[in-house]
Amino acid sequence: MEKAYKLLARQEQISNKKAKDLIDRGLVYHLDRKVKIARAQMANDTYFRVEEIDKVKIIYQDENILAINKPALLDSYELAETSEEDETELIHRLDRDTSGVLLLARNQEFLKDAIRAFKQRKVKKRYVAWVEGIFCEEIKIDAPIRTHKQGGKAFSQIDEKHGQPAITIVKPLEIQGKKSKVEIEILTGRTHQIRLHLSTIGHPVVGDERYGSVTRSKRILLHAKAISLLGYAFEAKEPRDIQKYK
């Protein structure tokens, strides 16, 4: 028996650190089950399958802004760190599992204007997701959110007394079996807002085990489809797992 990340490092001929990172990202599978604990003890002859991350695609760029279609399973901060532009900084972030439009500023003046637009709620954001259950009618969710750390990771919950205002509008798009595709507009930008709000109405995002999904998936099936601010408007093509469920 040996720790999973050490076995993976030997199999892929990579460093232990790189192997642990791949497991932490959710990219490593054994017998079609995701390996979730890098230090888990596993048999020495265990064979792993490593998923590849899709390539980053540029949607638009000019002297002020760089808009990209972020693939799932890639951290937002990595895109800023690897950008060829020294002055590029993240305007906002997407969760690791979330794909879609991500914006980076190319100068400090535009960055300040963009951050101000977010704070003043002058940014429009539209998402699509696959959720558990049959979702048929448009709904507006108005439930305050409080976020705290749990096990070193962010965890949000509804808190009518101490939470910050959070409003989400959800519309049905498609039903496939016992799963539904929905369009989401958020009027505020709280941590895990979409995931938590959908969970509270009994329709957690597929693959989102933290907030109640019972379906195994390679990732949380949430995509940031469109965003507009300061006269710009961008849309990111849906990846295959969002276009159609299974």
- Of 24, 75, 95, 113, which residue is the catalytic one? 95
Q: DSSP string covering the chain, please?
A: -EEHHHHHHHHHT--HHHHHHHHHTT-EEETTEE---TT-EE-TT---EEPPPPPPEEEEE-SSEEEEEEPTT--HHHHHHH-S-TT-EESS---TT-EEEEEEESSHHHHHHHHHHHHTT--EEEEEEEEES---S-EEEE--EEEEEETTEEEEEE-TTTPBP-EEEEEEEEEETTEEEEEEEESS--TTHHHHHHHHTT-PBTT-GGGT--S--SS--EEEEEEEETTEEEE-PPPHHHHS--
Is residue 21 part of the annotated active site? The answer reads no
Residues forming the active site: 95
